[in-house]
Amino acid sequence: MSGARLIVIGASAGAVQALLALLPSLPASFPLPMLVVVHVPSDRDNVLVPLLQAKCRLLVKEAEDKEPILGGVIYFAPSDYHLLVEAEGTLALSTDEQVNYSRPSIDVLFESAADAYGAGVVGVVMTGANHDGAAGLKAVLDAGGVAIIQDRTEAYATAMPDAALEACPTAFTMTLDSIASYLSSLGAA
Amino acid sequence: MSEIEDLEIQLLLEALYQRYHYDFRHYARASIKRRLTQARSQLGFPSISAMQDRVLHDPAMLPRLLGFLTVQVSEMFRDPSYFRALREKVVPHLRTYPSLKVWIAGCSTGEEVYSLAILFREEGLYDRTIFYATDINPEALAAAEAGVYALDRIRKFTENHQKSGGRSSLSDYYTAAYGRAVFDKSLRNRVVFSDHSLVTDAVFAEMHLISCRNVMIYFDRPLQDRAIGLFRESLTRKGFLGLGSKESLRFSAHAAAFSEFAAEEKIYQRREP
Ligand SMILES: C[S@@+](CC[C@H](N)C(=O)[O-])C[C@H]1O[C@@H](n2cnc3c(N)ncnc32)[C@H](O)[C@@H]1O
């Protein structure tokens, strides 16, 4: 049994390979909703969603404003919009200023998720060459949620996992393989 | 801790409404909370309540807080495909009217206003159009009326203008001086800038086109419905409503009153009553 209700994932440089290694391994019966922020240049928006949809057993879609958050769906933040979680279980978009030079920002997603879902959040920070996600992962931990960081030895870019680990020394570090089996086990409970 | 902060936020929003009639009580909570927490730390208050105390007693504090509460991110010809669709698909319909009214709701610092004015000029419609540019942030409205932008933003504006199917050079419309681009007065001699809230104010004229982009994402669902209700009442038969690229009428109570005119570009048309 676990109290997990929502999974949030953030990745930057190297994200595509990492997500391709992680998301397709999730079973079709995976019951939790998953929200993903990836930093991509704003003119390359929609490539990731169809690419992953083709490989995943779960529904992969771009998040829409005021959309209800449903289990078994993987929502991606649209490029150039922040993605936030509302307490009543809906998604919200915003065009607020960039945070950590990024829009969407991982911190913005994680902090709002921690605020709305408290201890029910599992946060995963993966490969990336910046510091986005560190403060957000700390917010997840502070709210009683689970914090996971991709093992730096297999990350394409280590700055983001390193920054997250520095902000959250008690987080679990895991390889993509173990992240995949951990997430799958949340579903099996 | 977070629960107390939620309560403080609720009280602050109530105070702003009671004292100044600014109604943020039904804005999407997650982002308003983020911005108020930012305001608290950047303005150096120990708590949201302390900030509330100050703004209640010191009206000079209000504009500073409004700066945090209203997001002023904009760009000329933002999402060029939207403006291209207006140009190619909506303008042919607008041409059939002898005079036109256009409402830019939540016009922020004016980028969208000048984009539409330029587009209408290029399409030969400017002189028969009245534009209403409205917002709740007085500083943003003043900036919109001034039409002065940092020169380093012009490159992006020019690129967007070209991608939107621009028929002229953007540089025809501004003069560059001291690192700033000053847009031509003639682009706003048919624009009425005014303070209007989609939350608390009523319909004020009958419109052929309403452009309201990236404003309603900041509202909760019932408030979105109120705003869309205003647009519905305000539009002429078969009038057009343009939204931001990630907004839609899909979750709205008024969805049935509109048809999708250019679905990808989020342009809707009011159905016949
Ligand atoms: C992100 S900006 C959008 C600017 C522009 N429409 C665009 O898409 O580039 C949002 C604007 O909505 C305005 N706004 C917020 N609440 C409003 C309300 N109740 N009525 C009218 N405008 C509002 C804000 O002041 C801000 O200027």
Q: What percent of chain A has pLDDT over 90?
A: 90
Average pLDDT, stretch B33-44?
Answer: 96
Distance between CA atoms of residues B224 and B71, nearest Å: 17
| pLDDT at position B184 over 50 | yes
How far B247 CA lies from chain A's nearest CA (Å)?
Answer: 6
- Give the per-residue pLDDT at A42: 59
Coil, helix or strand for B45? coil
| pLDDT at position A45 over 80 | no
In chain B, domain spans: 2-69, 80-270
Helices A48-55 and A15-22, packing angle to 10 deg: 20
Coil, helix or strand for B91? helix
Residue with tokens 């539009």: B235
Q: Average pLDDT of chain B? A: 96
- Give the per-residue pLDDT at B2: 76
Q: Does B2 touch chain A (CB under 8 A)?
A: yes
Q: What percent of chain B has pLDDT over 70?
A: 99
The model's confidence at residue B3, banded by pLDDT at 50, 70 and 90, is: confident
Count CB-CB contacts under 10 A for residue B106.
26
Half-sphere exposure of residue B241: CA atoms within 13 angstroms, side-chain side: 30
Average pLDDT, stretch B119-134?
Answer: 98
How far A174 CA lies from chain B's nearest CA (Å)?
Answer: 30
Average pLDDT, stretch A32-52?
Answer: 84
Average pLDDT, stretch A68-93?
Answer: 95
Q: How far is CA A87 from the centre of its chain?
A: 18
Coil, helix or strand for A173? strand
- Give the per-residue pLDDT at A1: 40
Distance between CA atoms of residues A93 and A65, nearest Å: 5
Average pLDDT, stretch B53-67?
Answer: 96
Report the amino acid identity of residue B40. R
| pLDDT at position B112 over 80 | yes
Mutate to test the interface with A, among B29, B42, B264 (most CBs of A within 10 A): B29
Going by their DSSP bridges, the two strands B235-243 and B267-270 should be labelled as antiparallel
> Hey, which residues 215-234 in chain B have their CB within 8 Å of chain A?
217-218, 221, 224
State the Cα angle at B205 between B203 and B208, rounded to 5°.
Answer: 110
Interface confidence, given as ipTM, is 0.91
Quote the ligand 1 centre to B214 CA distance (angstroms). 7
Full DSSP string of B2-22: HHHHHHHHHHHHHHHHHHH--
| pLDDT at position B149 over 50 | yes
Instruction: Check pocket membership of B72 for ligand 1, CB cut-off 6 A.
Output: yes
Coil, helix or strand for A88? coil
**Tens of pLDDT, residues A163-186:** 999 999 999 999 999 999 999 999
Instruction: Check pocket membership of B37 for ligand 1, CB cut-off 6 A.
Output: no
Q: What percent of chain A is helix, strand and coil (3-state, nearest 5)?
A: 40, 25, 40
Average pLDDT, stretch B258-270?
Answer: 97
Distance between CA atoms of residues B240 and B102, nearest Å: 10
**Fold entry, domain B80-270:** Rossmann fold (3.40.50)
Of the residues B21, B70, B211, B220, which should be mutated to test ligand 1's pocket, given the most ligand atoms within 8 Å of the CB? Answer: B70
Q: Which residues of B touch A67 (CB under 8 A)?
A: 251
Distance between CA atoms of residues B156 and B166, nearest Å: 14
Domains in chain A, CATH or no CATH each: 6-187 (3.40.50.180)
